[in-house]
Structure 1
Amino acid sequence: MTRQHYDAIVLGLGGVGSAAVLHAARRNLRVLGLEQYTPAHSRGSSHGHTRVIRKAYFEHPDYVPLLIDAYQQWSVLEEETDTRLFEQVGILQIGHPEGDVCHGVLESAREHGLPIDVLQPVDFRKQFPAVHIADHEIAVLEPQAGFLYIERAVRTQLDQAMDRGAVLQFEEPVREWRMTTNQGVSVTTDRATYVADRLIVAAGPWAERLLPPLAGHLQVLRKHLHWFACSNRHLDLNRFPVFFFETLDGEFYGFPCLDDRGLKVAEHTGGAKIERPEEDPIQVEPADLSRVEAFLSERFPGTAFRHSDHVTCFYTVTPDRHFVVDRHPQHPQVSFAAGLSGHGYKFAPSLGRALVDLAMDGQTELPIDFLHLGRLSGH
Structure 2
Amino acid sequence: MDVSSIDKKFLAKQEKLLTSYLSNILPVVRERVKSITREDFSLLSFHAQIGSSNNLYIDGVRTKFIDSEDFIAQWLCGLVKNVEIKINLGTFGKGRYNGADYYLIQYLKDLSIRDYVFTFLTRNFYRNFKERTRNKPDENLWSLWFGNGNLVWGLVIEPVLRNGCWTNDKSEMRRASYNYWTIGHIISTGLIDPTSDSPIKFSNPEDFLRFYKSVIIRTSNSQYEKEIADRYIEYLKHSNHLNQEPFLIPEFRYAGKEVKHLYRLDYTVLNSYVMKMTGFEISPASTHIHVERTKEKTQKLINFELSQEWCKEMTKRNSYFSKYGISTVTFTDTDLDNMDQCFQTIAGFLREKKNAPTTLYNAISEMELFIERYKL
Structures share a fold, TM > 0.5?
no
More helix by proportion, 1 or 2?
2
TM-score with structure 2 setting the length: 0.24
- Determine which structure has greater relative contact order: mean sequence separation of CA pairs < 8 Å that are 6+ residues apart, divided by chain length: 1
TM-score with structure 1 setting the length: 0.24
- Bigger Rg, structure 1 or 2: 2
